[in-house]
Amino acid sequence: MDKSAASPLKSSEYAIRNTQYASRITLHASRKGLFVITAVFCLLGLLYSIVIPLFEAPDEVWHFFFINEMATTGRMPVQPTEGQNVWLRESGQPPLYHLLAAALVAPLDTGAFPDFVRFNPDHPFVTNYSQSEAPNLFIHTRAEDFPWSGAVWAVHLARLLSVAFGALTLVGVWLVVREIAPDAPGLALLATAVTAFNPAFIYISSVVNNDTAVAAMSTWVLWLAIRLAKGKTSWKSELGLGVLLGLAFLSKLSALALLGVIALALGLRFWNGFSKNKQKSAFIRVNLRPLFFSGTLILGTAVLVSGWWYARNWRLYGDPLGWSVWLGNIGTEKATLLDLLPQFQEVAVSYWEPIDGLLPHTVFVALGLLWLLGLAGWLLIVWRLARDGRTPTSIHPDKTALLLTAVWFLLLYASLVRYMLILPAAEGRLLYPAIAAVSGLLVVGLAAVWGRYSRILGYGIVLSLFILSAATPILAIRPYYLPSLWAESDLPLLTPLDGNLADAGVRLLGLTVAPETAVNGEPVDIILYWQADAPSPEVELLVQVWSLSGDLLYQRQAPPAKENYPPDLWQPGDIVRDPYRWRPDPDKTLAYYITVTVMVDGEQAGLLASPALFRHTAVIDPDAIPNPVSYKLGDLAELIGYELTDGTLTLYWRALGETEQDYTVFTHVLDEAGNLLRQVDSPPAGNAYPTRLWQPGDVIVDVREIGEGYGRVLVGLYSPVAGSRLSVVDEEGTAVPDNAIPLP
């Protein structure tokens, strides 16, 4: 056989040999994989639910209040039509999740709620214009410690219900993507894994919130709607679709957009049937009765399941959605489409990130590349379909399923934009009802471009997301909400403070400063560690940061650990972590120390001071240094620039080495004839950063007043102990006379 005849065969064999990873997995293996992924997701959800402090998740406390009201009173709360009740701010939500959770917690004694809930008074959400950077919205007390009981146990039970809804969502995602790519069980498994190992989805599936309830119901409705459009349903499955649609309407108002999906599914079912009949016969009799029956059955059942709640709202508030009363309770914030443009990125980031700023930037770079790859796949699919009517892969997505999935995502996104125009709600979790669409469209796009590396890339994506989601609660969430009470064995290495502290009922064990050498204005975390003997709630502190030259750089007056664990909660023996954050001036290189003034009942009980072990160094652009020069002073320093303006001399020193001595800068002001007019000797930078603390590479800006009227200025460094100057050489290595650098 000649080569030209063999070529098509080899090409076909090559294509078969390199069939996509997704299609290599059998349906049976895909089902087993679904079970494993769902089980791992549930374990991760349990871990997240334990690590996340109570009520720190979005709106969790308000959702639990709604649940607790129904569990204790046996009826749904009524929102006030005038004024506001902050505890009822989520009670206008459709109640499916809350009804189920109330049934779970009803046997428990939750009488301690909400009395044990303490808001952090310094959090910006609690006190307007607060500058606090403490992440906790609540003060977390011993009431939350394991073993749980009462209201705390009830919260964790409600969280487990969220995990169950999350697992139900995963099964729905698998079913939806099976409809999109029926010949590729592996794609359904990959989409399920992408969903299951999304840290933000696990996070919201492990707290008290109705987002996973609406995600689960919407995903299952989407699956049955696809089957309806394909003509794969019976009256029983359509009845089930109506029930699930009604439950979705009882989960969250965003599910009302599913009406568009159902209408489109019915239209596609009619059109597909019409097209098939037209191919068989030129004479077609249009019969709309099956379509009418299906629509009536589905929508009628949904109304029977959910209509009572909307009728109740109409009766109570004159509004079937209860929307006006709910908005009156939580407030509104009008915006324009132009205002929303910066928020679309926030929606995309928070789709994956549980808490703002929690995950490193590299995570989003990797996710961005993944999405670009998926988008490239879709561009390739569209181009090939337009060119020759075929997809560029062995996987042939079902067009009906794709259309419904894409339309559902667009409808939900449009409703989110409408919502964002009324409320500040740039939150990715609000897209989770369409999470099957997001994951499904992503993996179909990936399948179009990954070619022979399909298996490696598929496993790599799953493994990477699993590592990310498993590491997040331990390496990100737990450090974000560090405990306030510490065991002595867990204490870090502390810097002790000098001074006396009278009998104040508390002892300062020491502090930590991180980083000990800050650079270019990066935040400095100062952590005090207190131990209680007989604590008094009237203890107050004045924490101050001082430069060595005596300048006050920062101060904060408040009770110790006010934002995390205030003194009225302290018990004898408690070791309490008390954090502060200071942002240095990025343009100043200096050394500093910390003082803590302790006051009890308004009287000073002691003043404690740290040693000057801590530093901040500025990063200065070399091009911004005026009059660049190069004079080396021994092995210690180099003068790299200077500026003379209106009697002020600014010297720019760069440290070359280290020394244990404190050198002094001499400044000789001469007249035109070379006679000494004035002499200004002082430590560099006004002693804010003495030479004994210099580190190689530090740039020190040394400003000194020398007065007006002079011909020349000579500068250098000398030891005030020995009285000798440091030797000076210029950039050519030539010694400078008298070791005094001449400035014009």
Q: Please give the pLDDT value at position 419.
A: 84
What's the whole-number average pLDDT of the chain? 88
Residue among 199, 201, 203, 200 at smallest CA distance from 172:
201
Question: 414 or 328: which carries more pLDDT confidence?
Answer: 414
Residue 105's Cα: distance from chain center in Å? 30
Residue among 645, 643, 646, 647 at smallest CA distance from 707:
647
Name residues whose C-beta falls within 8 Å of residue 391's C-beta, 6 or more positions apart in sequence.
Answer: 381, 384, 385, 397, 448
DSSP element (H, E) containing 64: helix 60-73
In CATH terms, 622-743 corresponds, of 1.10.3470, 2.60.40, 2.40.50, 4.10.280, to: 2.60.40
Q: Please give the pLDDT value at position 8.
A: 42
pLDDT band at 20 (very low <50, low <70, confident <90, very high): very low
pLDDT band at 263 (very low <50, low <70, confident <90, very high): very high
Average pLDDT estimate for 325-334: 65
Q: What is the CATH number of domain 488-617?
A: 2.70.50.60
pLDDT band at 421 (very low <50, low <70, confident <90, very high): confident
Average pLDDT estimate for 621-645: 93
Domain boundaries, the chain: 19-114+146-474, 488-617, 622-743
pLDDT tens per residue, range 223-237: 999 999 998 888 899
Name residues whose C-beta falls within 8 Å of residue 218's C-beta, 6 or more positions apart in sequence.
Answer: 248, 251, 255, 258, 408, 433, 434
Q: pTM of the entire structure?
A: 0.86
Q: Please give the pLDDT value at position 3.
A: 42
Q: Please give the pLDDT value at position 83.
A: 66
pLDDT reading at 346 higher than 50: yes
Residue among 256, 263, 258, 255 at smallest CA distance from 229:
263
pLDDT reading at 101 higher than 70: yes
Average pLDDT estimate for 363-387: 89
pLDDT reading at 612 higher than 90: no
pLDDT tens per residue, range 161-211: 999 999 999 999 999 999 999 888 889 999 999 999 999 999 999 999 999
Structure tokens at 508: 């300062």
pLDDT band at 283 (very low <50, low <70, confident <90, very high): very low
Q: Give, in order, the Cα–Cα distances in Å from 229 to each of 225, 226, 340, 405, 485.
A: 6, 5, 35, 12, 58
Question: 328 or 73: which carries more pLDDT confidence?
Answer: 73
pLDDT tens per residue, range 379-400: 888 888 777 767 666 677 888 9
CA distance 684 to 639: 12
CA distance 355 to 562: 23
In this structure, the number of other CB atoms found within 10 A of the CB of residue 286 comes to: 9
Residue 568's Cα: distance from chain center in Å? 32
pLDDT tens per residue, range 452-479: 677 788 899 999 999 999 999 999 999 9
317-326 own/partner pairs: CB under 8 Å, 24+ apart:
317/79, 317/81, 321/253, 322/79, 322/92, 323/92, 323/253, 325/79, 325/80, 325/81, 325/92, 326/79, 326/92, 326/93
Do residues 553 and 545 touch, judged by C-beta distance below 8 A?
yes
Q: Please give the pLDDT value at position 603.
A: 85
pLDDT reading at 651 higher than 90: yes
The single-letter DSSP state of residue 503 is S
pLDDT reading at 16 higher than 50: no
Average pLDDT estimate for 211-228: 97
Share of the chain above pLDDT 70, in %: 91
pLDDT reading at 6 higher than 60: no
- Give the range among 36-40, 151-155, 401-405, 567-571 with minimum mean pLDDT: 567-571
pLDDT reading at 718 higher than 60: yes
